[in-house]
């Protein structure tokens, strides 16, 4: 995988670790509520759901980091799979939850896939 694709993939993994922390641990704290534009009441009512969502973001990050660590053709295949998952999740989130997810999640995943080539 090209260096640019590797850097973008690593940044996407770090972003998903950050989202994990926001959703699992900071959801009802001021920083989490500010990030997702929620009142304390909304955050408290959805805290368990958000933690589950955060766990899934952690799985995406783990898969991307695993692919980067593994390297070679096998690692590249793992990265492509998880980048595809991030892309689909970003498209779905943009269509159903918030359009900014397209730019935060889907576009970077598409960029990493394009930079890495389709060999």
Task: Convert the pLDDT of each residue in 76-86 to its tens digit.
Answer: 999 999 999 99
Domain count, the chain: 1
Q: How many CB atoms lie within 10 A of CB 27?
A: 25
Segments forming the whole domain that contains residue 90: 3-116
Q: pTM, whole model, 2 decimals?
A: 0.92
Q: What is the pLDDT of residues 14-42, one digit of tens each?
A: 999 999 999 999 999 999 999 999 999 99
pLDDT of 17: 98
Q: How many CB atoms lie within 10 A of CB 9?
A: 28
pLDDT at 1 over 90: no
């Amino acid at each position: 995988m090209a260096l640019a694709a590797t850097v973008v993939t690593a940044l996407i993994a770090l972003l998903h670790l950050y989202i994990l922390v926001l959703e699992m641990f900071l959801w009802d704290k001021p920083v989490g509520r500010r990030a997702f534009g929620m009142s304390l009441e909304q955050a408290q009512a959805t805290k368990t759901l958000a933690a589950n969502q955060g766990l899934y973001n952690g799985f995406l990050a783990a898969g991307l980091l695993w692919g980067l660590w593994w390297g070679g053709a096998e690692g590249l295949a793992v990265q492509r799979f998880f980048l595809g998952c991030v892309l689909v999740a970003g498209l779905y989130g943009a269509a159903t939850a918030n359009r900014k997810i397209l730019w935060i999640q889907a576009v970077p995943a598409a960029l990493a896939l394009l930079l890495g080539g389709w060999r």
